[in-house]
Amino acid sequence: MHIRQLSSIRPGRWLVLLLVLGAMPVGRAQPPEDTSNAATWYRRAYERLDRIGLTPDQWTLLVEYEQVGGTPSTEVRDILQRTQPALADLQRAANQSYCDFGLDYSRGVNMEMPHLRGVRNLLRVAAADAAARIADGDGAGAATQTSSLLRMVNHVSDDRVLMSSIISGSVFNMTDGLIDSGYDAGAFSDAESAALLASMRSFDENDPFGAVDAMVGEQFMSIQTIQHAVAGGDEAAFDQFAEIYGLDEVQRAELAALSPEQLQAGLDAHSKLIDQYVAAFADGDHEAAIAEVKRLDQARADGEYGLIATILRADFASTYGFLDRVRGMLHSRIDELEKIVGGDVNASDLANAAVWYRRGIERINALDDAWKRAIAQVDPSRPMDEETIEALEVGAADAEVAAAEFVDGSKIRRCDFSRGRDEREVFVPLYADGMRDAFRLLVLESLRQEARGDAASATRLLAAEFRMTAHLADDHLIVSSLVARDGGLLAAHHGESIVERDPLVLDNFAEISAAVRRVGVGDAFGFVGSAARAREVIRDRLLNWVPGKERAAVGARFDAWLANVEVDGLLYLLGMQDVVDYGFGPHEPFNTRGAARLREYLLEETIQLATIDAPVFADRVKQRQPEAFEFPVTVHLARASEKAATARRDLWDATRWARELKPIVESAREPER
């Protein structure tokens, strides 16, 4: 694959390209064995990986694991264990001060990139290893591996090729996500933050991904290519150049007819254009720079800089916009790390309860059948009988560990399920059924602890249920609000039953009362926020079908229509869009398992009808008349609109016992006079 063919790929697709890139030609222009050159160690690292001989399926396992995260499987752990020697070489490479991959720039756009295949493989392994260390709580190891990735990004950006700058930006984007995962999981302390900050500071502040130097490199290689293909008289080289750049017959003829003087004038005009791009890329005023790059792109396309500049086309506006966005991410991350290292921000405050909840869901799914049956049938109004206690004894230890994940997670202030959530999960989030079961597990475990005479543990679990309700209510997805509602009301019923059965709850009432207040009645269970979010998502998806020039006017009409669609209808619209996978054609829901396990909200007949209705709705959208679509009566079977409308009153009534108990508790605690 030639540089020109690679350079035509949109910036946002570079990480995808890097992960799926096939066997690139390993060029013969290798740098000498200089152990102070990072390229020497990178080459040793990916040669080790080649000798290990991972299969395509094993590579796929690594990529999928890095994207999803969580507890690594036995197969992933085995692969990572085998690749540790290569990762050690990667760290040696990352610690070197300079990197020269020995690229042959004189070949112009025919230059091979001998290191890309190796960089791709090292990226896969290092990212998966960092994710596994985060999951295992090895913050120091994860920070070391992430720092190596950051320094590799910095080294690759030294190639003086715009393609490498784009790849570096994409890899940084991915690595920044790993850092977020580390803080989400509470894996990074002040020491790890300091190490990450040191790696971040190694980037050039104004041009962290080497875009300016790359533009100059592009200028040199373009001139080399044109001179060889056009002025060199090599017909085969000319044909290859024309093929790479996709020249039509007219352009081929015009280029071949250029005199030496015209060719030189065209090259001079092209160099002038590149100089102006370089000046724009180096401009500290980013908005002005973007405007200038767009102007230059248009001027080049209009032929203002001559035939050669028109032929040597590149989407520099998208490239600059992408690199500028990632540069902003880098600066924001540095600011955050400086605050952590300086003591202004506590790293533990960045932890994300959703990480604990996802782990807890994994543990629920691994419980034995006796516990799964008991979770499905739990009734907080009745004490646990001896037969049930005996049946649950075998798997009790595993259930306690699972419950502890939810209790610990509920104590974390921040909860953001959107981290690691696929955009298609707006209809059925993959964790929704797991969180529903989590509420039931905590009730069940509380009943078991109560039966054992441990009232303190029983009421601590109750407090966790209310904190989980507050977290899930803030997820701002309709299904999450439905689960939060049922979980919160289950917790309220559970609390009322405990109070009736055991006055020892008074000892833990302060914690319970605080947890109840966390739920809040302002936007009870988050229905207002989830409906607003649903309208926003639906509107944005529908506007993808509308030409850009019409979007403002059509968007206003869509907003007016959606404002009158109730929660049931919004859920149905999301279902139609998800069922057809954004394409308005026959397709299954993205989260088939989740949809099947949430039949109380996503009735089978409703989903089947959504598949039938989706093409009809698509036609209405194409005609700019979505309001003409008639919702079926079955959208109301789940009663989401009704539940949203009564949410505040339902929460208030269900937690009345907590408010009534408060003066009793306070009176009981007053010292005798």
**The domain boundary residue, chosen from 205, 239, 269:** 205
pLDDT, average across residues 329-337:
95
Which pLDDT band, with edges at 50, 70 and 90, does 590 fall under?
Answer: very low
Contacts 24+ apart (CB under 8 A), 612-615: 613/576, 614/576, 614/577, 614/579, 614/580, 614/584, 614/585, 615/580, 615/584, 615/585
How far apart are alpha carbons 417 and 476 in whole angstroms?
10
Which pLDDT band, with edges at 50, 70 and 90, does 662 fall under?
Answer: low
Which positions ≥6 away from 89 have C-beta within 8 Å? Answer: 41, 42, 44, 45, 48
Q: Which residues, listed in sequence order, are joined to residue 37 by a DSSP beta bridge?
A: 98
Q: Is residue 177 part of a domain?
A: yes
Which amino acid appears at position 60 of this protein? T
Domain count, the chain: 4
550 in the same domain as 503: no
How far apart are alpha carbons 325 and 187 in whole angstroms?
27
Give me the pLDDT at residue 511, please: 87
**The domain boundary residue, chosen from 525, 558, 578:** 525
Which pLDDT band, with edges at 50, 70 and 90, does 544 fall under?
Answer: confident
Q: Any idea which of 303-307, 406-410, 436-440, 544-548 has the lowest mean pLDDT?
A: 544-548
**The domain boundary residue, chosen from 297, 314, 331:** 314
Q: Any idea which of 25-39, 105-119, 454-468 has the lowest mean pLDDT?
A: 25-39
223 in the same domain as 186: no
Q: Is residue 665 part of a domain?
A: no
Cβ atoms of residues 49 and 83 within 8 Å: yes
Task: Give rounded-to-5 percent helix, strand, coil for the chain.
Answer: 75, 0, 25
pLDDT value at 584 more than 90: no
610 in the same domain as 561: yes
pLDDT value at 581 more than 60: no
pLDDT, average across residues 179-207:
93
How far apart are alpha carbons 362 and 598 in whole angstroms?
17
493 in the same domain as 406: yes
Q: Percent of the chain, pLDDT > 90?
A: 46
Q: Which residues, listed in sequence order, are joined to residue 98 by a DSSP beta bridge?
A: 37
Which pLDDT band, with edges at 50, 70 and 90, does 412 fall under?
Answer: very high
Give me the pLDDT at residue 468, please: 98
Q: Any idea which of 131-145, 157-171, 433-447 has the lowest mean pLDDT?
A: 157-171
Give me the pLDDT at residue 579, please: 57
pLDDT, average across residues 132-156:
93
How far apart are alpha carbons 82 and 129 in whole angstroms?
11
Q: Percent of the chain, pLDDT > 70?
A: 89
383 in the same domain as 261: no
Give me the pLDDT at residue 588, please: 47
533 in the same domain as 521: no
559 in the same domain as 510: no
pTM summary value: 0.82
pLDDT, average across residues 332-341:
96
Which pLDDT band, with edges at 50, 70 and 90, does 11 fall under?
Answer: very low
Q: Is residue 319 part of a domain?
A: no
User: Of 66 and 448, which is predicted with more confidence?
Assistant: 448
Q: Is residue 45 part of a domain?
A: yes
143 in the same domain as 35: yes
Which pLDDT band, with edges at 50, 70 and 90, does 17 fall under?
Answer: very low
417 in the same domain as 551: no
Q: How many CA atoms lie within 13 A of 21 on its CB side?
A: 28
* pLDDT single digits (tens) 599-633: 888 777 777 788 788 888 888 888 888 888 999 88
- The encoded tokens of residue 529 equal 């926020």
Per the structure, the complete domain to which residue 474 belongs is given by 353-525
565 in the same domain as 461: no
Place of tokens 């398992």: 593
User: Of 217 and 188, which is predicted with more confidence?
Assistant: 188
State the sign of the Cα–Cα–Cα–Cα dihedral 126, 131, 137, 140: positive
Q: Is residue 637 part of a domain?
A: yes
291 in the same domain as 242: yes
Q: Is residue 672 part of a domain?
A: no
Q: Is residue 289 part of a domain?
A: yes
How far apart are alpha carbons 83 and 48 in whole angstroms?
8
pLDDT, average across residues 470-482:
95
Which pLDDT band, with edges at 50, 70 and 90, does 314 fall under?
Answer: low
Give me the pLDDT at residue 12, please: 39
Q: Is residue 251 part of a domain?
A: yes
Cβ atoms of residues 218 and 277 within 8 Å: no
| Mean pLDDT, all residues of the chain | 85
Give me the pLDDT at residue 76, please: 95
Integer Rg of the chain from CA: 30
User: Of 68 and 90, which is predicted with more confidence?
Assistant: 90
pLDDT, average across residues 320-334:
91
pLDDT value at 545 more than 80: no
User: Of 525 and 598, which is predicted with more confidence?
Assistant: 525
232 in the same domain as 125: no
How far apart are alpha carbons 171 and 152 in whole angstroms?
9
Q: Any idea which of 22-26, 56-60, 258-262, 648-652 has the lowest mean pLDDT?
A: 22-26
Phi-psi region of 352 (alpha: psi -120 to 50; beta: other; left: phi over 0): beta
Cα 124 to the center of its chain, rounded Å: 16
Cβ-in-10-Å burial (0-12, 13-18, 19+) of 121 comes to buried
